[in-house]
Amino acid sequence: MRRIAAGGLLMLLCCSQQGGEPGSAMSSAAIPQEDLLLRIHCPEEVDFGKAFSLQVQRIWRKDLSPDDWRDEQLAPLRLQLLRRERREDGERIEEWLHFDGYLFARAAVEIPAIAFSARNSAGVAAIQVQSEAITIRPSLGIDAETAINAELPDGPMRQPGSGNLLLTSGLAVLALLSFVLWSSWRRSQGQSSGTQESRLSAKERATARIKALRPADPQDRQEIRAFHLEASDALRAFLAEEHALPAPERTSEEVLASLGSSNLLSAAKRELLDSFLDRCDRVKFAQGKPGQQAMVELLDAAESFLAEGDRA
């Protein structure tokens, strides 16, 4: 009898481990033999506005330096980091980031593939991979798109025995109507904002992002690095939209090489872009710490690049 009970307990423990979240039993299995890996683990359907479990799995070779993880790569999801787990073997390092995720969208959201690079000792991207694109659907408790028509019965209404039920029902109807009106207003605001955004050109959007950095006053290394990442991303997004270059996923060397083999930009403008990207890379990968004047000059260079004509 004791043997049967012990066997049942062992089976229960095994099942509980298999049913846990990804990465919960990471120490019991070997690290996957990948030189570089990025995977996002999350459910396909989540409750609107409620926390759900999301994990980011990253693997890289020990001789490489991986890109830092940025939560905004999973926008519009909101993330709250719960814990970070890391382990290693003789050749690789595996990292799991455990989050509480939140979705505040009424329609399905698609998160595009995320680029993940690892650099060698010279600071050059030796390997780059992409995660799989994911789609997350919200589960709404109330269908905000459904119109509500309130109709009162003809004739006098019977007086209830207690006014509490009537008051509670009235408040519930008012709350529901308020929610529908608020949802309709938010939807109209979102459509208006989207229409305004779509009217802007790629150059205008990039210029607005650069100007938004003007009031910034980054102090520590993390803030300075984020400043340079945003400046670099603004110009890369412009190149992607204006010239159909996959600049956000490519290294600076690859971007410049693509431009060098085409006539998209003049030689002077390519040289300006080369200097700009080099300044950003020094901070992003070499942990440089430029002064305030250097950051002002970086924004000046970005605006000059966007203001000048493309070709000579």
Mean pLDDT of 227-255: 84
Cα 237 to Cα 136, 179, 201, 232, 306, distances in angstroms: 24, 37, 12, 9, 12
Residue 285 has pLDDT above 90, yes or no: no
Q: Architecture of domain 29-139 in CATH?
A: Sandwich (2.60)
The domain spans of the chain are 29-139, 202-307
Q: Which residues contact 84 (CB under 8 A, 6 or more apart)?
A: 95, 96, 97, 98
Place of tokens 């990039």: 206
Residue 311 has which token pair?
Answer: 């070709």
Residue 122 has which token pair?
Answer: 């010279």
User: Which of 16-20, 216-220, 292-296 has the weakest average pLDDT?
Assistant: 16-20
Residue 226 has pLDDT above 50, yes or no: yes
Sorting pLDDT into bands at 50, 70 and 90, what band is 8? very low
60-96, pLDDT tens digit by residue? 999 999 999 999 999 889 899 999 999 999 999 999 9
